[in-house]
């Protein structure tokens, strides 16, 4: 990992209801990677698993990164496990990959493209995550269609419960 910071941290169980585990990021590393409000980074754990994420404020001036269950299970990590971390600044356009199916749909749908790109960066990343998560291209396409149709039907607003129901109808 070029232009990266490397360190060892320990997996901690979170008291936050949004995620199960996280690890602390040394202050000097966090300060070097944060640019204004932009805290997006690319993280590689134990030289095996790479993912895009954000440095999250802990509330005491320090920062942490969450680790989801799938990644913990893949690497055999539990609270108290040491983890080798590589971090670099995320220079990507969105902070997550743009699914090929959604990109093609947006090339063909000017209104859908405009509405999607008018969203806040966080909401846009959430939709990219939803569209890009399935391994199956047909499911990614159906999710992408549901997302664009939802935005157009709701004037660019997102009702996640309604979107979820609409995607279920398309899958």
Distance CA 17, CA 167 (A): 25
What is the SS3 string spanning 33-73?
Answer: HCECCECEEEEEECCCEEEEEECEECCCCCEEEEECHHHHH
Contacting residues for 76 by C-beta, under 8 A, at least 6 apart:
none
pLDDT of residue 3: 65
What pLDDT, on the 0 to 100 scale, is given for residue 138? 93
The boundaries of every CATH 2.40.30.100 domain in the chain are 5-89
Torsion angle defined by CA atoms of residues 101, 106, 109 and 111, in that order, rounded to the nearest 10 degrees: 140
What is the value of pTM for the model shown? 0.79
Query: Collapsing DSSP states into helix, strand and coil, what is residue 110?
Result: helix
Confidence of residue 168 (pLDDT cuts 50, 70, 90): confident
**Class of 5-89 in CATH:** mainly beta
Q: What confidence tens digit (pLDDT) does each residue in 28-84 have?
A: 999 999 998 899 999 999 999 999 999 999 889 999 999 998 899 999 999 999 999
CA 141 to CA 69: how far, in whole Å?
Answer: 26
Q: Which residues make Cβ contacts (< 8 Å) with residue 27, sequence separation at least 6?
A: 61, 62, 63
pLDDT at position 15 is: 80
- Tokens coding 149: 């149709």
Averaged pLDDT, 102-118: 96
How many whole angstroms separate alpha carbon 83 and alpha carbon 55?
16
């Amino acid at each position: 990992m070029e232009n990266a910071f490397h360190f060892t941290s320990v997996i901690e169980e979170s008291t936050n209801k949004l995620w199960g585990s996280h690890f602390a990021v040394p202050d000097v590393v966090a300060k070097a990677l944060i640019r204004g409000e932009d805290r997006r980074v690319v993280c590689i754990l134990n030289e095996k698993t790479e993912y895009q994420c954000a440095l999250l404020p802990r509330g005491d001036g320090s920062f942490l990164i969450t680790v989801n269950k799938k990644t913990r299970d893949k690497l055999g990590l539990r609270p108290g496990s040491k983890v080798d971390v590589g971090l670099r600044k995320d220079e990507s356009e969105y902070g997550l990959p743009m699914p090929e199916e959604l990109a093609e749909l947006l090339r063909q749908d000017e209104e859908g493209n405009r509405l999607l790109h008018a969203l806040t960066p966080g909401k846009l990343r959430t939709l990219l995550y939803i569209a890009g998560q399935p391994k199956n291209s047909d499911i990614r396409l159906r999710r992408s269609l549901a997302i664009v149709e939802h935005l157009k039907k709701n004037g660019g607003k997102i009702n996640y419960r309604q979107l979820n129901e609409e995607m279920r109808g398309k899958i």
